[in-house]
Chain A
């Protein structure tokens, strides 16, 4: 279908009847359903669904008439996009320079000791994902950690362990 550019092409059907696809449609429409809207569309998918799976990439690529390879290329080029669903809770350790020299590695090391996860991994029970960020811009509060979208500053391994314990006790 990539070769046909001028003809009205049939609209790509939604991968499922999930209403969130309409949000994706809105973003694509706002940018004129043009190829240049690819990254914005992927942002919307990730915001709505939490991650980008092959179905989503196929849908966006087909709607914007870009090859699936290009959509996949873009999705894997940028660190912000993830192709795997995150755990129930996410813990993002900032690895910016200020955080690094103030002991961010100790936090990562604590996570590994306690939960056996390294950056990019999710615990086997799907409860906690450990991620790292390049820099949150919260250097004044180094080392910084984002627990489920909430930034915490001057985090010590003990404080991190407290939070992990809280997450675990909530569910079990």
Chain B
């Protein structure tokens, strides 16, 4: 008996997390990494020119710009409508494609469904790589392989989105209740049956929410894909700007913004309906409640079918591509920085990273204020909270590209305007994520400090923030790596940096140079992700 009791007694000894020494080392490392990034961001901010002289100059150029902008040119409304529908159709096809690819990838990547540890690794690596690969580069590469039209755009959106969609799909699978699946296995069900009957019903609401969320992101990204030839509003926008026809360009930009805003509202509405359906259903569902699911399903099918018809991808390309594929792949080798020396290449890489760092810094500063005020447990009143939430929603709805175009045209600057555009976009994204994580903290310690007699700011800093900060740090790095990719891509509107070199090379058909710079950007993105993983681990000590 005593020998049996020993391991139990040992298990009772509290986990000490490696003791104070390890904890101190961990906090020092965390402080070091965060301090390094803060310093880099401040240096980046300082090197980008936000100075007052320029600002005054930019007011005059803004006046000139706005004078050339009005009245907005909404001529040929039929054409604008066609472009709007086409944009939506292409984006929906791309999102659906990513959802289809994501199912098996997520099944492999999820810890509890992965058939083998090596496949789990493959699944996770696929999501990380797909995320790191900017869709704009994908579309440039795909455009060399396929004929023009909607297909490269659909594929670029579809493949890049797998990074986020499959990751969130896998996370949802890992959070399921294993019971129903075990029951089906115990009853002799096949793996496929376990998945369809045990897992799918549990993850469906979360998967639908993910797809809708990604569709909104893709719609905003469509603006930028238009710059490299994807048909739709984005293309019209870039063509108008190249003609210096700002009246038309801003009309298209406004239309695109409204489209994004309307889609965002529709998807918020559907998400709420889907995520709450389990709670609101009464014991005896009304006929409407019973029909609703089927109705929504068929509507989705109809929308997807219509999108495929409208987008008219050139499916036959899939038959002809294989013959030329090896030759096209050979375009991307050997690696070379082209006309640039390596030091120049790294300097350009820093320029891009600096835009991302400065944008993230701006975003972090403002979102930590607005995001906190948007949280139920911090906001002074519910109207204040609703106001902050609405502000974040609106900011999130503006495509970064449009923001960047307007700012670059207004200020006449490249890098700092792009950083500002990224900063504003980051406020929308990070503010919402922060507000959500603050609302999720355990309210108990907050109550305890309230009982101690602490003031609201004291409760916030001593209880709310320490609980929410690991999530916030995670979101911050997510924003930073999104911004590195976005800063690369914003080169299409003159942000400079490594993106500029890539587009120049692409126009000269030097795809090996494009590939080399792409790998450099991916290396930066992956090292940021790696640091984020390290920090998450250290924060648990």
Do A and B assemble together?
A: no
Q: Which residues of A contact B (CB under 8 A)?
A: none
Q: Which residues of B contact A (CB under 8 A)?
A: none
